[in-house]
Amino acid sequence: MTAPFYITTPIYYVNASPHLGHTYTTIATDVARRYHNMKGVETFMLTGTDEHGDKIVKAAEKNEQSPREYADRISALFRDLWPQLNIRPDHFIRTTDSDHIAVVVGILRKIYDNGDIYYSEYEGMYCYDCERFFNERELMDGKCPDHGKPPEIIRESNYFFRMSRYQQWLIDTLHDNPDMIRPERYRNEVLSFLKEPLEDLCISRPKSRLQWGITLPFDDRYVTYVWFDALINYISALEYPDGEKFRKFWPHSHHVVAKDILKPHGIYWPTMLRAAGIDTYKHLLVHGYWNVEDSKMSKSLGNVVDPVYLKQTYSTDAIRYFLMREMVFGLDSSFSEPSIINRINSDLANDLGNLFSRVLGMFHKYFKGTVPPFDPDAETDFQLDLKADARSTAAAFSAAMENFEFHKGLSAVWEYISKMNKYVDITAPWELAKKKEAAGQLAAVIRNLLEGLRVVSGLIYPVMPETAATMQKHLGLDPEKPFYLLEEIKKWPKIPDNASLPKGISLFPRIDPETILRTETTGGGDPFGIEAVSVPPIKEQIGFDDFSAIDLRAAKVIHAEKVPKADKLLKLEIDLGDHRRTVVAGIAKFYKPEELVGKSVVMLANLKPARLMGVESKGMLLAAVEKSACSVAVLDRDMPPGTPLM
Ligand code: MSP
């Protein structure tokens, strides 16, 4: 029997809403899991949120919420996002879950009792944003490489994990298991780090400095360091130590992370496991960054892309395809909307979509919707053998997917699609249809093309499950049945003879970049794009009913950033009490983004959404505007966001 498959994403900090970077990792994890389902393997996928630590306390304070309320709210944003992108984890863990806390406490106690946790005074360079100590070597020009700030010197007594004791063991393990960390460049990075003596890891924070954490079972003046807590999620979710799930899945564990958290996963985690007497994980899969104009997409740089906007604009499958096709797993990739549109138009609309409608169009024209019976002796060798090519495509696809080389898996499928398009050109069914004696050949050609489309629909399943099901339905197969099993996909023929098929549809309409990337003025429009007339005459009188159709609300600006390539526009994240929205306002010439954050503003909440420079704006801020000045209307006293204005 094939071994089960356990796959995890990092658990994401709740100090920021989910963005495209988190989305990529989670989709890649879902794709790998679906691919293993195609092999008929039992799988378990885990994701969740990392909720303790200083970062979260600071973010909660900024939002005027308690850490608990704040963590509840942001964690729900992550949990609710994944199903919208067709990702269905088996478990969503939160580090504030009591089961998780109990496992962390148990492991701390175990390692402490073994003598691998000790108490000592320490003076070191601490980066508050990373929540960890740095050594000289790790700094860049004396500054934290991730946050660009010099660390602060801190002197305090703390508990330390004797990580140094496991240095040689880790080096040996990485040598004995050359594919434990993949791609190889990251294994090498960890090994090169291990060339220097490994320092012990400070694993506590005094409660005088931080309370939002798990109390150490052997000293209640301290909470545990957030990474010591977080990493343990991978086994607490499996109900370590006694859970059946732990026994079944842990030996087949795959952690997917980006390179930012290589060190905790490549060094802290295996040594922690070793010290706790637990076998180490099987594989660590490390990918690169999504960059925007050469900088890592991240909340702190304010250049994040909203996955919900992408899904609404381009469809879930298109986004999943773009992310998996565009990034070479392990390397950085550059994000831009024109590159999504390009991929959709060329790969999805042109190559796949055209082939699908072309083949189904001919099939309906020549066979009136009834599948011609498969004839194994029919002459179909028109320089291209779709059946043999399907086999080799499935093999190339599998080899790539096993290795997390999603882009390669997809390009193997797209090579097959282009062979099929060529097959249509070579066989020219429209010519065969003209000759009576070619009826058998015409049937064989169309039947081969239908089978080829079926293979394509099966192979795209892990990346584009909705498109796969739509194609299957139009090919006369029941999408509820396990059509995605690799073994089934490879069989030829599979479509029932004489099945009657529904008419084809357009899978991916072409996108006109103009409609998405340029300002639209339908719907809400940009009020500030209109030239303001100085002291315009008062408009016609209205009744109270007319006024009450306008829904004005007190709102708070949570975040503001410039809209790239639009010098007038600011993108604002607005709190309306029970939800948040994005609003685009044409006030960038008058306000710096940071001037607006925290302001209690007045918002027209029931304005129809409008798209401005590709960003969907839901509502409008009120402001006094004239040509060279603008003043946003703010409330004289702080009111809870969402309060109606009368
Ligand atoms: N909480 C820790 C992880 C603990 S796991 C035991 C953490 N959280 S995080 O919210 O900062 O998430 C980091 C992860 O988000 C990255 O490793 C990656 O999976 C994803 N990404 C965040 N930004 C990204 C890019 N710009 N590009 C690609 N992935 C990115 O670290």
Which atom of ligand 1 is nearest to 50's Cα? 1
DSSP string, 613-646: TTEEE-SEE-EEEETTEEEE-B-SS---TTPBP-
Evaluate: CB of 298 within 6 angstroms of ligand 1: yes
SS3 label, residue 350 = helix
Q: C-alpha distances in angstroms, 121 versus 136, 156, 157?
A: 19, 6, 4
Query: In the numeric block, which tokens belong to residue 362?
Result: 């001919």
Q: Which of 20-24, 201-205, 610-614, 642-646 has the lowest mean pLDDT?
A: 610-614
- Asked about 299 being catalytic, the answer comes back as yes
**Nearest CA owner, ligand 1 atom 9:** 12
- Asked about 435 being catalytic, the answer comes back as no
**Nearest CA owner, ligand 1 atom 24:** 21
Catalogue the E-assigned strands of 414-483. none
What is the tens place of the pLDDT at every residue in 179-216? 999 999 999 999 999 999 999 999 999 999 899 999 99
Ligand 1 pocket, mutate which of 11, 261, 268 (most atoms under 8 A from CB): 261
How, if at all, do strands 283-287 and 181-182 pair? parallel
Task: State yes or no: pLDDT of 637 exceeds 60.
Answer: yes
Q: How far apart are CA 394 and CA 151, in angstroms?
A: 51
What is the tens place of the pLDDT at every residue in 312-338? 999 999 999 999 999 999 999 999 999
- Asked about 263 being catalytic, the answer comes back as no
Q: Return the pLDDT at 528.
A: 30
- Asked about 175 being catalytic, the answer comes back as no
What is the Cα 206 distance to its own chain's centre?
Answer: 34
Evaluate: CB of 11 within 6 angstroms of ligand 1: yes
Evaluate: CB of 258 within 6 angstroms of ligand 1: yes
Q: How far apart are CA 140 and CA 468, in angstroms?
A: 48
∠294-298-303 over CA atoms, to 5°?
A: 65
Please confirm whether the linkage preceding 183 is cis (ω < 30° from 0).
Answer: yes
DSSP state of 531: P
DSSP state of 163: G
Q: Does 19 or 531 have the greater pLDDT score? A: 19
- Asked about 130 being catalytic, the answer comes back as yes
What is the tens place of the pLDDT at every residue in 448-470? 999 999 999 999 999 999 999 99
Task: State yes or no: pLDDT of 521 exceeds 60.
Answer: no
- Asked about 408 being catalytic, the answer comes back as no
pTM, to two decimals: 0.81
Q: Which of these is catalytic: 263, 299, 364, 419?
A: 299
Buried b (16+ CB within 10 A) or exposed e, 437-466: ebeebbbbbbbbbbbbbbbbbbbbbbbbbe
How, if at all, do strands 91-94 and 117-127 pair? unpaired
What is the Cα 646 distance to its own chain's centre?
Answer: 41
The torsion angles phi and psi of 541, rounded to 5 degrees, stand at -65, 150
Report CA(456)–ligand 1 centroid distance (Å): 32
- Asked about 202 being catalytic, the answer comes back as no
Q: Which of these is catalytic: 36, 55, 100, 130?
A: 130
Task: State yes or no: pLDDT of 527 exceeds 70.
Answer: no
Which atom of ligand 1 is nearest to 13's Cα? 10
Q: Return the pLDDT at 297.
A: 87
What is the Cα 629 distance to its own chain's centre?
Answer: 40
Q: How far apart are CA 95 and CA 230, in angstroms?
A: 7
Task: With cut-offs at 50, 70 and 90, classify the pLDDT of residue 381.
Answer: low
Instruction: Map tokens 């009834």 to a residue.
Output: 370
Beta-carbon count within 10 A of 375 CB: 15
DSSP state of 122: E
- Measured over the CA atoms of residue 14, residue 246, residue 483 and residue 329, the dihedral's sign is positive
Ligand 1 pocket, mutate which of 25, 129, 299, 404 (most atoms under 8 A from CB): 25
Report CA(293)–ligand 1 centroid distance (Å): 19
What is the tens place of the pLDDT at every residue in 262-297? 999 999 999 999 999 999 999 999 999 999 887 888
